[in-house]
Amino acid sequence: MKVQDVMTSPARSCRPGDTVVEAARTMWDNDCGSLPVLDSEGRPAGMITDRDICMALARTNRFPGDIRVREVMSAHPFMCQRGDEIGEVLVTMAKQQVRRLPVVDENGCLIGIVSINDVAAGAERAGARRADEVHRLVIRALLAISEDPHLEGSLVTS
């Protein structure tokens, strides 16, 4: 199974100069928990999550409309391409402890997003035997994503 079989396209996004209010509104309006942050050429320069926004508001004593996405986003996002195998993508998610990856074209421009939820839901389309295998990979990835990477014997470090 490939990323293109389960990804969401087009993906919603924001820009580094947008406020966290604008990013949160986009997430709310589109029922998503994260957004790729695009540079001027449409390439992912970062990711921002609803948690990033919440923590920024809790940590600062600033009006939300004055906080820019660039201040709270995670820079240098991990990405994948539409033709990548789902197993490889789940390994990346597990190692990097992320639940979503921007999907880019051959020029590095955003064309979609794939989440671990997309993979779990899309596994059924691969047939029963393949679905069981994909679900096992999803569970392993979720366990790795959720654990403390500093623990000895961690799935993330193995």
What is the phi/psi pair of residue 80, to 5°? Answer: -145, 175
Each domain of the chain, given as residue ranges in start order, spans 3-146
pLDDT score of 48 more than 90: yes
Per DSSP, the residues of 72-106 read HSEES---EETTSBHHHHHHHHHHHT-SEEEEE-T
pLDDT class of 131 with cuts at 50, 70, 90: confident
Quick check: 36 and 110 in contact, CB under 8 A? Answer: yes
The CATH class, in words, for 3-146 is alpha beta
Percentage of the residues of the chain whose pLDDT score is greater than 90? 73
pLDDT digits (tens, 9 = 90+) for 102-118: 999 999 999 999 999 99
- Asked if the model's pLDDT at residue 152 lies above 80, the reply is no
CB of 47 closer than 8 Å to CB of 72: no
Task: Please check the confidence at residue 153 and state whether its pLDDT lies above 60.
Answer: no
